[in-house]
Each structure stands twice: as C-alpha cells, then as structure tokens.
Amino acid sequence: MSATTDHETVDVLVVGSGIAGLAAALAGAREGQEVVVATKATRPEGASSWWAQGGIAVSRDHPEQFKQDILTASDGTADPDAVDVLVENANEAVRDVLVETLDVEFDVEGEDDQRESSERANGEERPVSENDSDGDEEYDFTREAAHSEDRILHVDAATGKHIHIPFLNYLDDHENVEMRDDTAALDLIRHEGRVHGAMLESDGEYSPVYAGATVLATGGIGDLFTHSTNPTGSTGDGIAMAALAGADVEDMEFVQFHPTAYAAEDGEDGFLLSEAVRGEGALLRNGDVSEYSNSEARETESPGGERFMPDYHADAELAPRDVVARAVAAEREATGTVVLDVSPLDFESEFPGLVEKCEDRGVDWTEGIPVAPAEHFLCGGIAVDDRGQTSLDRLYAVGECARTGVHGANRLASTSLLEGLVWGLRAGADAAGNEAEVIEAPDLLERDPDLPEDFARQKFHRLRRVTEEYVGLERDPADLNRALGVLRRLKGEVDAYVRTRTARSLYELRNASVTALLVTRHALENDESVGTHHVVEAEPTGEPEPSVDD
C-alpha cells in the first residue's frame, strides 16, 4: 500500500452504501451539494441493506400505535422523542423516496395486481396510508413480531435488494453524486472537536478526502461473531473510527440476535428466514418428537416436534426477538434441534426466494427448516441527535452504526430500513452548506514489512471465539471480565502493527477489536437484564473453564 500526495475536497462525504448512506447522499445532492459515497462493499451484496428480507414498516394512519409497538418491543427503553421522529416521518419518507423517486414495486394484494400495473403505466401515485386511498388498501401489508397491525411493506422476502439496487442505480446517474466502490475509510481527519473528512484507501493507495461534512453509514458488527446475518466486512468501522476520534458512543451492549437463521453446518452458507414467515403463521418446533407425538393437539402433517413458544410468551412466535432467540437457543440445547414449521402457510408461493435457498442446500422445507439464533443488529452505536449529528462537529452517523434512541434495548422488526431512510434524509440535508477545510492529515506509516500471512484471519478467529462464547445471548459478569482481558491484549497486539503498517485488513481488525471492547465494556457496566442484554450468573461447576485465549 502506498500513500499519494494528492488530496481532494468535497461538500459531503458519505462512508457506506446501505439505505442510510444512500438516503444521506440523495438529500445532500437535492441541496445542491457535491457528494462522494465511499463504500468498501462490492455492490450490491456487500451492504447490509441488500440482505434485508422482511420489509419496511410505515405508520399508515396509526402513528401512535406504531410508536407504542416500538416502545413495547424496546422493553420501555426507546427514546420517545426519537420514536416520534421516526413514526411522524415514516409515510412521507417512504412515499417520497421509495415510491415516487425509485418506483419500488412493493407487493400488492393479489386481486389488485392488474390495477396496480395499470396505475403505474398511467403515472398515478400509489397511497401508503389509508387516508390517502380512502380506505382502499392496495399494498400487501404484512405483520411481524411485536407489531399490533399489518403495516410492513415488502417485496417477497427480499425487500432490501429491491430497494437497494434501484437506489444505487438512481444515484449512479445523479450529476451531484460520485459512487466509489471498494473504497475503505481508514481514519477520520479531525482537529479540536471537528471532523474534516477521512483517509480513504482504494486499490492499495490511500489519500485524504476533505469534506464540509462527513456522514458515517458503515452498517453493523457481524464480523465480530461466528454466526451472523450480516454481510462479510461488517467490522464496526464507523463506530470504531468515531470512538477513536472522541465521539460519544452509547448502548453498545444491546446486540440483537435473530432467532431464525438457517442452522448451517460447517462450511455451509447460512441465510436468514425472515420474521415475516412467522408473521404469516409459521411455527417453531423443537426436537422432542416422542413427547409431542402423544399430544392430541398435534397436527399429524406438521413436521418437527413440540411447539414451544406459547410456554415462553403470550405472543408465542410473534414475541419480541430477544425472547424468541433465547427460547430457540434453550430448546436447541435441551432437545438437539429447532425447526421452523412452514406447513401452516403457502410457503412456496409466498416466499419463493427462501424456497430456492433451502433447495440450494438440499433442505426439504416441507419437513421443517433447521434454525438457530445469529447476531443480527446492533441497537446502540454512535450517539446522534434527531438530525444524525454526533458529539463531534460536522460528523454525522446514520443507519446501524448510529444510536438514534429509536431501538433502545431491542429493535422492533422491519424498522431498520425505515430508520436508515428517515435519519439518512435528515442528516444529508443538515450536512449541507459547509465548506471543506484542508488541515494536516493523519500520518499513516509504512516503516515495517507487510503483515505476516494469515495474521488478520487468525486474530479475527480469536476475537470471534471470545465474543461468541462470552458476549452472546446471555452474559455472565465473570465471563465478560475474562473477555475484556483477552480483547485488551488483542487490541494491544493490533495497535503495535497499526503504528508501523497501513493495510485495510489491519484497520478492519483494529476497528473490530475496538468495537468488541465497547460492547463488552458496556455490557459489564449494565447489570440489569433488559431487552437484548440478558445477564446471568453461572454457578461454578468445578470443571475447567473454556479457554478463549491462544
């Protein structure tokens, strides 16, 4: 890797290309700003938004009920003011960007398909709320866990890519936006509480890009865990860079695990089974076939064993995600397996994309689909206000890397795309109007030889062993302290290399270790079980403790 002496200036620099980053870029461009979107993703699959299945929730005509559902799912920890921003802007943001600008073809009710196509051909606008359509609902709104009504717009079970691809294409053609793929931000350029841009790396070369304002939209932290629904490369880059620059970071202990990821075997690719499948009637069953076979309640054609969720929560399969995830983990441990029984719905016609994924892996979905929890979404992150502004001047954060306060301790299903869209638009507009100022850039050194081969992979393996074992669905304070010690040593080793070498893989490892430390520290500081943060104190067994250090 080599440095270049050149630098460039831009009005707004957006780091990341999920829906939040793209919304920020769109809003900035609408304000007449010159915008650069730098993303290390290989488009389009490299961004988390592309993988979103369930859909995007809207308020329809019931914002107060939507707000209450968000607060309830968060275990009462969400910020009511932030939730107001979300629900009050939901319908208009979706209508403006997704329907009118991008022409996303959300699923409609079957009987309206022909009419819907005709309206599109005639250029007629499509309603989002019931009032706009005089009660004539066209969209096939669906429901997911902890929602009290059908309010989720979707495209099959692949909503993310049906939003993401047209969004990328639209910005590709926008005269005020430059998209840069396979481009990583290594460090923020900051001085005395103000961020002036970032050091970007592409194709082995790095140079400073100075910006009037910088928007971080770097996504999640899936690479910190062995099992995750995030795309590869989700290393917490934005969170780590912001924290190292001095920005406030909050609620990092609230890591949401999705309860129904395909339980992939070693060497097999996993995939997410959307919560919408349970919203349409799918049931969770454990491996206790012998006991359940004697129950009169059993439907003889249903695969798997006993249905267990009614024993854990009154809302059964549609309980909040943290409840369902812990229940699935407990039943897997007790009975050996948990399957998603899709026999109560027309799975093949309603979720053809998931059927294809099952068949590609040789899974007979008619016999139940093996599932297990997997890391899914970080509810905390860089602390921001209602415009996405961080505690550092001219630095914004949006999407999963940001902590808006909407999610609190547990995210309501299908609100992540909406939060990214709403805050992205607000941040991009607010970031406009600042002039870039060129200051001294960080000195990224290359004094020593290249990294030892396999260095980053081995250290990542070590990091994941720690987080998976000690910072997962349940947290024991003693285990968290053990994890903290290992992660501190790991970060020290990585820092020693960063001081003398510049490589994208090394900076990703640094970012992952910083983010893992933040998650662990925040988990230790919170001794109360709430939402996704579940504290347990394991009783000593007298047996040797598992080793997480090399």
- Identify the three-state secondary structure at position 427: helix
The alpha carbon dihedral of 523, 524, 528, 534 has a sign of positive
Using CB atoms within 10 Å of the CB of residue 496, give its burial: 0 to 12 exposed, 13 to 18 middle, 19+ buried: exposed
Terminal CA-to-CA distance of the chain, rounded, Å? Answer: 29
Taking CA atoms, 177 is separated from 60, 184, 423, 437, in Å, by 32, 17, 19, 20
Task: Tell me if residue 321 is catalytic.
Answer: yes
Cis peptide before 373 (omega within 30 of 0): no
User: Distance of CA 519 to CAs 49, 250, 384, 463, Å?
Assistant: 22, 10, 18, 13
Q: How many residues does this entry show for the chain?
A: 550
- The pairing of beta strand 8-15 with beta strand 205-216: parallel
**DSSP3 helix / strand / coil % (the chain, rounded to 5):** 40, 20, 45
Strand ranges (E), 271-413: 283-286, 338-341, 369-378, 381-383, 395-397, 402-403
Residues 190, 285, 321, 475: which is the catalytic one? 321
CA 262 to chain centre: 17
Return d(Cα 533, Cα 410) in angstroms, integer.
9
Provide the phi-psi class of 19: left if phi over 0, else alpha when psi is between -120 and 50, else beta.
Answer: alpha
Write out the catalytic residue numbers: 321
